Amino acid sequence: MWVRRWTFMVVCILAGALVVSIGTSSGARLAGTASTKKCAEYTYGGVEANQTRAGARAKITLKQTAKVAWGHAAAWIGVGGRDEGPNGTDQWLQAGFTGFDTGETFIYYEVTKPNKAPQFRPIGADLKPGATHEIFVLEVKKNTWRVKLDGKWASPETVLPESHGKFKPQLLGESWSGSTGKCNEYQYEFNNVQLASAIGGSWVKGKAGYIFKDAQTKKLSSVAFSVRATASVKRTASVKRTTAARFESPFLARAASRILGRDVTATCQAQSVPVREQPVGQLHLSLRTCWILLGYAQSLPRAPRAGTPAAREVVVAALDFLRGVQTVNNVPTNKLNCAAVRQFYSAFRRLGATPSQDLALRKQLLEVYAARGIKLDANCS
């Protein structure tokens, strides 16, 4: 997900290095400790640069496997954010580690372009405690950005309009647990932190503008810090996955299983149809469907606002997914739309959306139907 400078954050204007000591006490909204019974929907720990830069890099280490009770926990480097695109649109590029509450873990990047839905792109998977990877998010030419993983380019060039000289990079750990009150646990380290002072690099130490203190953010050296949120949660077993061109998603498999009333697996891969089953019990989802639905989940709570073109993309991807799953369940064609409407709310709750987000998107789903001239049975909605 992407964050901005919310009022609950502790603001520290510093003259020291980017990585500064801020102790181990939490800020106004806690990520959770062993004695915390209810946790905030979203919490962050880490730093934002005090001035605009052309990118950031660091070696990120997974100190312990994230224990996610609901939603996801992540550590990432990124630029851009909510309302940071042309005309107040959303745009960002971030890359790092993430883990969902189904146990799956990824190295990923997420790109959000103006008026487009966030897209989640796995570039590695199945992280183990102690795993360390160097990640760059860098402006390679004016208004054009790219992700590098362990010395190799891991994303195509991504144009973020009007972004040159605008972004302050962020290096953050985060937790998202919706409105469940559940607590997620994570621990990451950021080492060899540097900022790009010019397009293409010119790496230098930076200075911190904002310190995110919902979770514990602790200085380790002049170029390193740790972020940690503690909780008491049970983690599900990890499932091994492959990489970007084809990967498993227990997260989406769970949503499909609830609709079908039977357990299925889900593999994301290149294909023309949103969903197919072959053999029985193994769903194959199109990459676009996976990228958008996982992108929505990863971007929470800053997912596209209902009523925007980006949210419409999310709604259409969800509709394709829900209709596809119902087709697998042999629902008659003339009942597919009603079946999708009935499942829409619960499906987005499993993606991590709050009740209000679900209702707003469901309203937009009905508007999509109306625009397509699709009439629903009076008992459908």
Residue-wise pLDDT for 87-102, tens only, equals: 999 999 999 999 998 8
13 has a pLDDT exceeding 70: no
Can you tell me whether residue 250 is helix, strand or coil?
Answer: helix
Going by the DSSP 8-state scheme, the letter that residue 372 receives in this structure is: T
The pLDDT value recorded for residue 244 is 58
How far apart, in whole angstroms, are the C-alpha atoms of residue 146 and residue 157?
Answer: 5
The residue ranking higher by pLDDT, 182 or 196, is 196
The pLDDT value recorded for residue 241 is 43
Q: Rank 106-115, 120-129, 198-207, 258-267 by mean pLDDT and report only the highest.
A: 106-115
Percent of the chain with pLDDT over 90: 47
**pLDDT tens, residue by residue, 280-290:** 999 999 999 99
Beta bridge partners of 269: 246, 286
pTM: 0.83
| 320, two tokens | 């394709």
pLDDT band at 274 (very low <50, low <70, confident <90, very high): very high
Report domain extents, the chain: 42-229, 246-371
215 has a pLDDT exceeding 80: no
Query: Do 173 and 74 meet the contact criterion of CB atoms below 8 Å apart?
Result: yes
* pLDDT, mean over the chain: 83
| 85, two tokens | 């695109």
**pLDDT tens, residue by residue, 290-299:** 999 999 999 9
Q: CATH second-level architecture of 42-229?
A: Sandwich (2.60)
Query: Do 244 and 238 meet the contact criterion of CB atoms below 8 Å apart?
Result: no
pLDDT band at 144 (very low <50, low <70, confident <90, very high): very high
Q: Rank 190-194, 209-213, 331-335 by mean pLDDT and report only the highest.
A: 190-194
The pLDDT value recorded for residue 222 is 85
The pLDDT value recorded for residue 213 is 76
Q: For residues 337, 343, 347 and 349, what is the CA-based torsion angle, rounded to 10 degrees? A: 130
Q: What is the C-alpha end-to-end distance of the chain, expressed in Å?
A: 31
Mean pLDDT of 61-84: 91
Residue 303's φ and ψ, nearest 5 degrees, are: -70, 165
The closest of 285, 306, 284, 286 to 355, measured between CA atoms, is 306
The pLDDT value recorded for residue 172 is 93
174 has a pLDDT exceeding 50: yes
146 has a pLDDT exceeding 50: yes
pLDDT band at 32 (very low <50, low <70, confident <90, very high): very low
Question: Which of 264-269's residues contact partners 24+ apart within 8 Å by CB, and which partners?
Answer: 269/245
How far apart, in whole angstroms, are the C-alpha atoms of residue 130 and residue 189?
Answer: 10
DSSP E strands: which ranges in the chain? 42-49, 55-67, 72-81, 91-100, 105-112, 119-125, 132-141, 144-149, 152-153, 158-159, 170-176, 185-198, 201-204, 208-213, 216-221, 224-229, 246-248, 265-269, 275-277, 282-286
pLDDT band at 160 (very low <50, low <70, confident <90, very high): very high
With 0-12 / 13-18 / 19 or more C-beta atoms within 10 angstroms meaning exposed / middle / buried, residue 106 is: buried
DSSP output for 142-207: TTEEEEEETTEE-S--EE-TT-TTT---EEEEEEE-TTS----EEEEEEEEEEEEEETTEEEE---
The pLDDT value recorded for residue 231 is 55
